[in-house]
Amino acid sequence: MAETGHSVRAEDVLADVLAEVRERVDRREALGEAQVAVLEAAVNIVRAGRPGVEVMPVERSELVREALGAVRAATVATGVALTYAHRTARVLT
């Protein structure tokens, strides 16, 4: 029972952080997009991990699929941010 309470709390906290980050970051910037995507993935993974009675298999499958898409987006955005950081570092040195 404690694990269920913890999971629900983690889900709520992550959702709140995601909402705050969406309001504050510039998603036109690669790092901003990566931040949002990582948090979206985390929220969906935690939701998918709820006990079987709380989430139906079809819903779990969709949540995991959405999490995977968010992880892919985060990977691409982080790669773009890294490339930009390397280029900026070369210009400054």
**pTM (two decimals):** 0.84
Kindly give the parts of the chain with pLDDT less than 50.
1-2
DSSP-assigned letter for residue 26: -
**Secondary structure of the chain: what % helix, strand, coil (to 5)?**
85, 0, 15
pLDDT for position 2: 42
91 C-beta neighbours (distance < 10 Å), count: 7
The whole-number pLDDT of residue 5 equals 54
Q: Residue 55: what pLDDT? A: 86
Q: According to the model, what pLDDT value does residue 6 have?
A: 59
In this prediction, residue 85 carries a pLDDT of 93
Round to whole Å and give the CA distance between 92 and 16: 37
pLDDT at 8: 56
Count CB neighbours of 74 within 10 A.
19
